[in-house]
């Protein structure tokens, strides 16, 4: 396993929710990362953010690790969930709520409902 893969594995093992993104949760540096971080922030989900722009090995390594070509990438309990489009769809369908509930993660259900209302 490469150094990047080892670091990725440690990160997703040590945190229940991890977002590999461009920028940080408080300062996203691309629209797709901003959208996913915005959903998680609004829903009050506790998560670790990993800025792939700060480390070229990690930027490519996460794509190789997940076999997914784009960033951001969301992991819940060590499992790859998806990128921006998938997270958006899951948020709007309520699947993200279910995923959090099944994994015993806290989030603001009212905020999730407001996202769906605003986009319904």
pTM metric for this prediction: 0.96
Show the tokens assigned to 39. 């959903």
Mark out the alpha helices in the chain (DSSP H runs): 3-14, 31-42, 56-66, 84-93, 95-102, 109-119
Whose CA is closest to 83, among 8, 101, 4, 91?
91
Topology of the domain covering 3-119: Glutaredoxin (3.40.30)
Q: Map out the domains of the chain as residue ranges.
A: 3-119
The dihedral region occupied by 80, where left means phi > 0, alpha psi between -120 and 50, and beta the remainder, is: beta
pLDDT digits 0-9 by tens, 1-31:
679 999 999 999 999 999 999 999 999 999 9
């Amino acid at each position: 396993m490469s150094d990047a893969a080892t670091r990725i594995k440690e990160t997703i093992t040590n945190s229940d929710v991890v977002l590999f993104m461009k920028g940080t949760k408080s300062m996203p540096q691309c629209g797709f990362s901003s959208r996913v971080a915005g959903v998680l922030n609004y829903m009050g989900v506790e998560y670790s953010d990993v800025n792939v722009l700060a480390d070229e090995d990690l930027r490519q390594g996460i794509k190789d690790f997940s076999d997914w070509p784009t960033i951001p990438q969301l992991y819940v309990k060590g499992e790859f969930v998806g990128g921006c489009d998938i997270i958006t769809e899951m948020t709007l369908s309520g699947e993200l709520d279910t995923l959090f509930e099944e994994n015993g993660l806290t989030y603001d259900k009212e905020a999730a409902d407001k996202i769906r209302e605003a986009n319904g």
